[in-house]
Structure 1
Amino acid sequence: MNLTDDVEPIKAMGHLKHFAAGEDLLREGDQAQSLFFIQQGAVRLWHNDDGRDITLQFFFEDEAVASFESFYLQEPSLFAITAIEPTTALVIDGKVLRHRLETDPAMISAFTDHIAHRFIDYMRYFLNRIEQSPETRYRSLLASDPALVKRVPQYELATYLGITPVSLSRIRNRVKKSQAN
């Protein structure tokens, strides 16, 4: 979610918090109580599948993140949110956000727009995972978001692509060779 003037009043209700690389903003199984606006740094939204990490999305500066499913349903989160580099975020209390959404039509509109875009991102991610080979997924990501490929640690990038770090290394070498020709 790119921040717009519509969410500035919500941001004003938050407080800054710093997270070290590897620190959880939300643990899988905890109920989401907050929304985070990333001011500086990067986080990943991920799930542990019997010891295997599955990264669903990365969030960077000027983006909002929460386990919206947990926040909305008030149930334990199926996902963790973890800083992948030192991160500063505005932390918005969920109760404050809920009240604002109930009383401010412009805010509910901005929030709904964000949820709709996140749903679209998930659908694209899902289709990408079932339709494309790992190498095609990597090439697509490299073409569409080269900054992400450079910024995200290779282990987390591999979990996002649904492959092992060794497979990612092999794919990267093949792509480099094909670009050199």
Structure 2
Amino acid sequence: MLFHFRHQFPQLNAYWDKYLPFQQRLEIPPKTTLLEEGKRSQHYIYIEKGLIRAFFNKNGEDITMQFFFENEGLSSFDSFINNTPSPITIETIEPSVVYLLAKEHVNQLLEDLSHEQDFVQMILRMTVQRQTHYINEFVSFIRDTPEQRYQNLVKERPHIIQRVPQHFIASYLGVSKVHLSRIKAKLAKGKSHF
């Protein structure tokens, strides 16, 4: 939401420094739950190192919605802003270093930022960028086949293919691990003909 846009908005660096004492730095192993589905989100999470996924449970099966990497931030935003139960679980995949900023300090940070000259434009750009990403994901899930979605990952976000375990990628694509193996074998076979 905020600090992972520091490279685009250098003026955020001063706020990072100011709010660093209020951030809880955690070095945590894989499979650490940072927010559980059904609980209320009370922290903004910034990833210094590692890999995190957001997922929900459907009839006992985890459905992965999104992956987050270094220098990205996240929360269950509806839950965070509206104080409602989170529809997702947030969990580490790799050993990770994260910073947690409590809701009260996020609100104070936003109040501080509101005095910045380009605050509204900055928030709009952040929101549009995130919204565009999610809309593209949603459209792709409806329009594209799992094979096309996998090819898009390979082409546009190869870091996911390189770092995320296969069963999470399968869940993210909405297919079984066996189906994902078939997709990969078919694509590898197609390449070998050239």
TM-score (norm 1): 0.92
- Preserved contact between residue 44 and residue 55 of structure 1 (Cα < 8 Å): yes
**Any gaps of 5 or more consecutive residues in structure 2?**
none
Structure 1 unmatched ranges of 5 or more: none
Residue number among 121, 130, 136 corresponding to 2:142 in the alignment: 130
1:48 & 1:38 partners in 2: Cα distance? 23
Shift of 1:94: 1.0
TM-score by length of 2: 0.86
Which residue does the alignment assign to 1:51?
60
2:71 to 43, 57, 62: 62
Asked whether the 8 Å contact 1:3–1:63 carries over to 2, the reply is no
Distance in 2 (alpha carbons) for counterparts of 1:76 and 1:108: 28
Q: What is the SS of the residue equivalent to 1:176?
A: helix
Cα deviation, residue 115, structure 1: 3.0
Quick check: which has more Rg, 1 or 2?
2
- Partners of 1:42 and 1:152 lie apart in 2 by 8
- Structure 2 distance, partners of 1:146, 1:61, is 15
Q: Report the Cα distance in structure 2 between the residues aligned to 1:68 and 1:180, rounded to whole angstroms.
A: 44
| Letter paired with 1:64 | G
Using the alignment, how far apart are the partners of 1:159 and 1:6 within structure 2?
38
Seen in structure 2, the aligned counterparts of structure 1 residues 113 and 32 have a Cα distance that, compared at 3 Å, is: farther
Of stretches 43-52 and 107-116 in structure 1, the one that deviates more from structure 2 is: 107-116
Going from structure 1 to structure 2, the CA distance change for 1:135 and 1:112 (only over 3 Å counts) comes to: same
Instruction: Label 1:79 to 1:35 Cα distance change in 2 as closer, same or farther (>3 A).
Output: same
* Cα shift at 1:180: 1.6
Tell me the amino acid that sits aligned with residue 75 of structure 2. Answer: A
For 1:29, what is the secondary structure of its paired residue? Answer: coil
Q: Give 3-state SS (helix, strand or coil) of 2:79's partner.
A: helix
Matches within 5 A, 1:135-146: 135-146=147-158
Distance 2:192 2:67 in 1: 29
